[in-house]
Amino acid sequence: MSNDLSIVQLLLHASWVVQAVVLLLVLMSVISWAAIFRKLFALKRVVTHNEDFEREFWSGANLNELYAAAAQNAREGGPMERIFASGMREYQKLRERRIADSGTLLDGARRAMRASYQREVDAMEVNLSFLGTVGSVAPYVGLFGTVWGIMHAFTGLAAMAQVTLATVAPGIAEALVATAIGLFAAIPAVVAYNRFTHDIDRVAIRLETFMEEFSNILQRNLGHQPAPTSASGH
């Protein structure tokens, strides 16, 4: 490709509508890439925190000590630790109110964990909608720029007495650049959206499994001791 038909030269000679479309697509691409890297590191931290807490939980540690540590580490901890803390907090509050019915105690702990679970999933899904929007909208934005550029090129060619490939090619090429940049913005966003959705679903399933297992531990401990002491014995 010659210098006259380089992407930079094509954009510099394109109409202002095509330039605005390309600028918008580049901005969308930059923001989507920033969101991809933030989400990638955030999910990696979530998985690491969950694995660390789950390993400590199943090691037979004292549940009251785990709860005290989780309450102090609420911001730096992972979703599983916060869900555990919310369940223990509600369980202990009901015990302090001298509620002896096991069904009421378990239902209260489960509702608290379910509410915390929903907050954690919502937090993990932040920016996913933006990636989905970029993946679905960017190609059409680029196509709009292409259609407008082709219309502009043919309008200019109408005034020419003789039209050759050399006169048609630059106008068509500058219009097609918008579609190419639209695909460049959309493809990574779609791939990242699908990958993150799958990873979040896996984390959510693991959290739901933990909630059920922790509920079973609370149920087994009811009636045997004043308060849950450890996760061992299951």
- Report yes or no: 86 and 116 within 8 Å, Cβ to Cβ: yes
> Other CB atoms closer than 10 Å to residue 52's CB: what's the count?
14
Q: What is the pLDDT of residues 27-70, one digit of tens each?
A: 999 999 999 999 999 999 999 999 999 999 898 878 888 888 88
Q: How many domains does the chain have?
A: 1
The answer as to whether 231 is a domain residue is no
AA letter at 121:
V
The residue whose two tokens read 């004292």 is 62
Question: Is residue 46 in a domain?
Answer: yes
Query: Which positions of the chain have pLDDT values less than 50?
Result: 1-3, 227, 233-234
Q: List the helix and strand counts (H, then E) for the chain.
A: 7, 0
Does the residue 194 lie in any domain? Answer: yes
What pLDDT was estimated at residue 222?
72
Query: Is 228 a domain residue?
Result: no
Does 232 fall in a domain?
no
Q: Are 185 and 143 in contact (CB under 8 A)?
A: no
Planar angle of CA 101, 106, 110, nearest 5 degrees: 155
Evaluate whether residue 135 is within a structural domain.
yes
pLDDT of residue 223: 57
Within a domain: 230: no
Q: How far apart are CA 210 and CA 142, in angstroms?
A: 45
Q: Is position 226 within any domain?
A: no
Crossing angle of helices 128-157 and 16-57, in 10° steps, is: 160
| Rounded Cα distance, 234 and 221, in Å | 10
Q: Distance (Å, rounded) from C-alpha 10 to C-alpha 16?
A: 12
Tens digits of residue pLDDT in 87-109: 999 988 888 887 777 788 889 99
Q: What is the pLDDT of residue 52?
A: 92
pTM, two decimals, is 0.80
Show the domain range for 110: 3-221
pLDDT for 234:
46
